[in-house]
Amino acid sequence: MVWSVSTAKTFERCQRQWFYKTQFASAKAKDEARRFAYLLGKLQSVSAWRGNLVDHVLSHQVIPAIGRGEAISAEKATASAMDRFDRQLAVGRQHRIHEPGFKPSALGEDFAAFYAMEYGDGISDEVIGQARDEVRAAIIAFFAMDKLIQRLSQARRLITQRHLFFTLAGVKVRAVPDVIVLSTETPPAIIDWKVHTFGRHDAWLQLAIYAAALTRTDSRLDYQIATNGFDPTDVGLLEVQLLTQVLRRHRLSEDDLERAESYAARTSEAMALALGEATEKTSELSPDSFPAARFASTCETCPYRCLCWETLQ
């Protein structure tokens, strides 16, 4: 079992949803239900999709260009985002996950699937227009943050979307920071992008796990020498709300770290207890072995709703 903040939050929200996502869904399974669960897991809200678009453009184009000392403009980044936006929107509106033998990998980066196409009445032009405007606004906002760009430009190395793993209380923990900033003389830093309209989300728990992963990773990494000797509390943590241009600097204390580690230990133990002796044989488990959500609002955004309700019936 691999633990992450997102899987822990899913488990707390609905154990059955967590089971579908982490134990049941499989792209390679021969069982039709498990393959379909994998495809359902690709469903996104329009809000989450537009956030992922912004993440992709920053992580794969803008930040690497800054790291190489190359010039890149807001106009170029926005044009790239809009091109990706239109291609994925066209595929998402076709809603191809019910096609026999369909594989998302066949469409590469053009693939998208929307929750509203499976469970709603489709996506209105008004919703799409708002998402388009917010993608543009987020990217333009980034380029308006002069001090942030200056800091990124002065870094010795910038690493985006790197999967980090470390062991905590016998459990494998996964973390994927948006940007790792390595400097010559100062401690490493982590930047986390947020694309929320109201900008009220506080990411301290996620950032605490990122800091622990960066300084305690089990793997031999190409940049590990730059993080050796530092504790999680040394790592600079910056949460960037792109739509509101709010930067939150988090100072991780020993108490914060202890709280984050306690949360990881408590939720991972609960997951292990939920799986019981079938940890290595999840095919023996069934969805009805796991309690469904207590609140109807959870079901309203669950991609596995159709499978879950079939189980209930």
Q: Which two tokens stand for residue 130?
A: 């708002």
Domain of 72 in residue numbering reads as: 2-12+30-312
Q: Is residue 23 part of a domain?
A: no
Mean pLDDT, range 211-229, rounded to an integer: 73
Q: Is residue 104 part of a domain?
A: yes
Q: Which two tokens stand for residue 188?
A: 């490493």
pLDDT in tens, 81-99: 999 999 999 999 999 999 9
Distance CA 44, CA 52 (A): 10
133-137, 186-190, 276-280: least confident range: 276-280
Q: What is the pLDDT of residue 6?
A: 95
Please give the model's pTM, rounded to 2 decimal places.
0.90
Residue with tokens 């999680």: 232
Using DSSP's 3-state secondary structure scheme, residue 42 falls into coil
- SS3 percent helix, strand, coil of the chain, rounded to 5, is 55, 15, 30
Q: Is residue 65 part of a domain?
A: yes
Q: Which two tokens stand for residue 6?
A: 């997102």
Q: Which two tokens stand for residue 3?
A: 């633990």
Q: Is residue 76 part of a domain?
A: yes
Q: Is residue 154 part of a domain?
A: yes
Burial 29-61 (b: 16+ CB within 10 A, else e): eeeeebbbbbbbbbbbebeebbbebbbbbbbeb
pLDDT confidence bin for 195, thresholds 50/70/90: confident
Q: Is residue 139 part of a domain?
A: yes
User: How many distinct structural domains can be found in the chain?
Assistant: 1
Q: What is the pLDDT of residue 186?
A: 86
Q: Is residue 188 part of a domain?
A: yes
**Torsion angle of the four alpha carbons 225, 231, 234, 238, in this order, in degrees rounded to the nearest 10:** 80
Distance CA 171, CA 66 (A): 36
Kindly list the distances between the CA atom of residue 74 and the CA atoms of 32, 65, 145, 160, 162, in Å, as whole numbers in the listed order: 45, 12, 12, 19, 24
Burial of 129 (0-12, 13-18, 19+ CB in 10 A): exposed
Mean pLDDT, range 188-192, rounded to an integer: 94
- Name 76's Cβ contacts closer than 8 Å, sequence gap at least 6: none
Q: Is residue 245 part of a domain?
A: yes
Q: Which of 169, 172, 179 is nearest to 223 (CA)?
A: 179
